[in-house]
Amino acid sequence: MNVFVIGVGLIGGSFAIDIKATFNEAMIYGVDKNEENLKQALSLGFIDCTSDLESLEKADIVIVAIPVDATVEILSIILDKIGDDCLVFDAGSTKKKLCETIERHHKRRNYLATHPIAGTEFSGPQAAIANLYRGKTNIICEVEKTAFKLQEKGMEIFSRLGMRIRYMDPGSHDKHIAYVSHLSHISSFMLGKTVIEKEKNERDIFDMAGSGFASTVRLAKSSPDMWTPIFKQNKENILETLKEYIANLTHFKGLIENEDFLAIHKEMEETNYIKTILKGIA
| CATH number of the structural domain spanning residue 143 | 3.40.50.720
Find, among 138, 139, 74, 68, the residue nearest to 97 by Cα.
Answer: 68
Q: What is the pLDDT along the chain (282 residues), one digit of tens a residue?
A: 999 999 999 999 999 999 999 999 999 999 999 999 999 999 999 999 999 999 999 999 999 999 999 999 999 999 999 999 999 999 999 999 999 999 999 999 999 999 999 999 999 999 999 999 999 999 999 999 999 999 999 999 999 999 999 999 999 999 999 999 999 999 999 998 988 887 776 666 667 667 778 888 899 999 999 999 999 999 999 999 999 999 999 999 999 999 999 999 999 999 998 888 777 665
pLDDT of residue 212: 79
Find, among 225, 4, 8, 6, the residue nearest to 128 by Cα.
Answer: 8
Is 25 in the same domain as 153?
Answer: yes
Judge whether 112 and 87 are in contact, CB under 8 Å: yes
**Boundary of a domain, candidates 170, 187, 216:** 170
Is 211 in the same domain as 140?
Answer: no
pLDDT of residue 276: 82
pLDDT of residue 203: 67
Is 138 in the same domain as 119?
Answer: yes
Judge whether 74 and 66 are in contact, CB under 8 Å: yes
Quick check: is 53 in a domain?
A: yes
- Residues sharing a CB contact under 8 Å with residue 260, sequence separation 6 or more, in sequence order: none
The type of residue at 94 is: T
Find, among 61, 108, 112, 111, the residue nearest to 86 by Cα.
Answer: 61
Quick check: is 87 in a domain?
A: yes
Strands of the sheet containing 164-168, edge to edge, are 49-50, 27-31, 2-6, 61-64, 87-90, 111-116, 137-141, 164-168
φ, ψ (nearest 5 deg) of residue 31: -125, 125
Is 180 in the same domain as 139?
Answer: no
CATH, residue 260: 1.10.3660.10
Q: Give the chain's domain count.
A: 2
**Boundary of a domain, candidates 170, 200, 226:** 170
Quick check: is 42 in a domain?
A: yes
The type of residue at 227 is: W
Range of the domain at 184: 173-277
Is 203 in the same domain as 80?
Answer: no
Find, among 230, 210, 224, 203, the residue nearest to 92 by Cα.
Answer: 230
Quick check: is 282 in a domain?
A: no
Judge whether 139 and 115 are in contact, CB under 8 Å: yes
Quick check: is 263 in a domain?
A: yes
Is 26 in the same domain as 50?
Answer: yes
Burial of 238 (0-12, 13-18, 19+ CB in 10 A): buried
Using DSSP, state whether 2 is helix, strand or coil.
strand
